[in-house]
Structure 1
Amino acid sequence: MQRDQQRPFRERCDEAAGRQVRSLEAGWEHTSGPVVAVVPGLGALGYLLETVGECAAWARTFLLDVPGFGRRGPQGCPPEIPAIAETVSAWLAQVAGGPVVLAGHSTGAQAALHVAAAHPDRVSALVLLGTTFPPEQRVLSGLARGFTRNSRHEPPGLFRATAPYYLRGGPRALARFVRSAQRDEPEHVITGVRCPVLLARGEHDAFAPQPWLDRLAAAAPDGRSTTVPGAHTFPFRQGRLTADLIRRGADLR
């Protein structure tokens, strides 16, 4: 039995920014201590379930279904970084009840970064996992090279964990999502973050190469970085390791 199946999840739907935002909640028995909110990459939840289950051992934890690929029907928000950041910010104000440890992976890290910069009162610590995209990948050719280098190191089973979300989102929404992420400039946004920031990448992550991670960590007023085993989607099948990173971020508050 996989670890994410050992700890129960419950689905909830809350109104934020005039939209219904779905999330998966675990660890609701924790009535004190940190609250963790996790923003997925490209709207796929499946590869982060184990991470959320591990976080729930020590914190009330939410996995946000943004932009809304987790089920059929109206999306929680448009599949673009600014809209996702706005929705997450509104959700935090509506549901969290105080500053949270905000974690994001991949494009989710880009959105989480905007939230922390725009609303410092809602984020006590920020954990950025595999933050995309360095400047050289903001054109199609650079993105394709990164995809080729990274893909050879991703574990088996990743496609099965993410494909249902991508299929529900559809190719147009995914393309819109990626283009929005390519237009984003995290290196400028991170200078406005006032809470502690922990950045992490997989050692074979071609979408978040080491020089890019170092640049972001140096630009943050209170930033530090680390490298862990794996490629870009290192949280998949490494839920305990990823949860430990998030806990390290929580300890920086």
Structure 2
Amino acid sequence: MPPPQPPVGGYSSIMPITTQHGHALLHVTHDRVGASAVRSMGTADLRTGSVPVVLVPGLGAPGYLLRTLERCARSGPARLLDVPGYRDPAGPVCGETLGALADTVARWLADVPGGPVVLAGHSTGAQVALHAAARSPGRVRALVLMAPTFPPPLRRTAPLSVAAFRTAVQESPGVVPAVLPSYLAAGPRRLLTCARSAQADAPEAVLPHVTCPVTVLGAEDDALSPPGWVRHLAGRAARGRAVVVRGAHAFPHRHPDVTAEVLNGARRTSF
């Protein structure tokens, strides 16, 4: 079987992920974007088959989205972007603010997939995906915002701390080893910079400028992105819908099948 072809105008460094589930063999790929190389996990070839699903993690910790990625890869091309890349041996590809992350994702969308994608972000990654979609309208066929942060009351430190605790007690303990290595690599200063950048953002003001279909996906027990906020954001989009599933903030880790069902459905979105 011939090796996967590198993207046009760049290169790919392919290294198989050791775990294989179903029919999806995932790879670690480095794609040339300008003078940098953005690391991602997923299927090697994005230019054959159905519309690719591209995932953006929250707080730069991609590990908790691997289960959802694998389910998406069973149905078609899929990538999980490792931005900013705290654990990339080559070092972070960009800064940790929303603006720097959105610029990097927008450049990746322009250089790598070769066509429109389903762009999906989780938590602060949803904010990054939203800004990238607004900057690259022709590159995003559908946008999925999973547990998007932060509603206005949580843009202050004290209420955010309370909501984070309320959500944490609802989470599966299994999510901790999925995010901890990235958090340790980032360190508290960079994580705090990312969180403060997200708190300063107003996604409700950006959504009316997005022209593609938007699905806002939230969870019943998520105090960081409560169902009311999910529905409000969907209403701000020109072509938006809200979906609320079971779980708390990290529902893509605990309920990957339900999450992937929504994401794979967005490949065919026409609402």
Cα distance, 1:70 vs structure 2: 3.2
Q: Distance in 2 between matches of 1:3 and 1:242?
A: 19
Q: Please say if residues 36 and 62 of structure 1, whose CA atoms lie closer than 8 Å, have aligned partners that are also in contact.
A: yes
Greater RCO, CA 8 A, separation 6+: 1
**Which whole-Å CA distance do the structure 2 matches of 1:51 and 1:3 have between them?**
13
1:105 equivalenced with 2:118 (yes/no) = no
Structure 1 counterpart of 2:38, from 10, 13, 21: 21
Correspondence for 1:207 among 221, 224, 247: 224
Taking the aligned partners of 1:152 and 1:216, their CA distance within structure 2 comes to 25
- Please report how far the alpha carbon of residue 30 of structure 1 lies from its aligned counterpart in structure 2 after TM superposition: 7.5
Aligned: 1:32 with 2:22:
no
8 A contact 1:4–1:51 mirrored in 2: no
- Deviation (angstroms), 1:227: 0.7
Counterpart contact for 1:44–1:70, Cα < 8 Å: no
1:45 aligns with 2:59: no
1:135 paired with 2:152, answer yes
Query: Which residue pairs with 2:6 in the alignment?
Result: none
Q: Which of 81, 102, 125 lines up with 1:85 in the alignment?
A: 102
Using the size of structure 2 for normalisation, the TM-score is: 0.89
Q: Give the unaligned 5+ runs of structure 2.
A: 1-18
Instruction: Spell out, residue by residue over 1:172-206, the C-alpha distance to the aligned partner (whole angstroms, 9 max, x if none).
Output: 11010101110111000111010000111111000
Distance 1:190 1:29 in 2: 27
2:252 to 229, 235, 247: 235
The alpha-carbon deviation at position 245 of structure 1 amounts to 1.1
Structure whose alpha-carbon radius of gyration is higher: 2
Q: What TM-score results when the alignment is normalised by the length of structure 1?
A: 0.95
Q: CA deviation at 1:19?
A: 2.2
2:241 maps to which residue? Answer: 224
Residue equivalent to 1:158: 175
Matched, 1:168 2:185: yes
- Per the alignment, do residues 159 and 5 of structure 1 end up closer, same or farther by CA in structure 2, a change over 3 Å counting? farther
State the match for 1:177 in structure 2: 194
Counterparts of 2:137 and 2:193, CA distance in 1: 28
Structure 1 residue 108, shift from structure 2 partner: 0.6
Show the counterpart of 1:68.
85
How many percent of aligned residue pairs carry the same amino acid? 43
Q: Which residue is equivalent to 1:56?
A: 73
RMSD: 1.8
Distance 2:77 2:32 in 1: 19
4+ residue segments displaced more than 6 Å: none
Where 1:236 maps in the other structure, the secondary structure is: helix
Give the 3 Å change call, closer, same or farther, for CA 6–48 of structure 1 in structure 2: farther
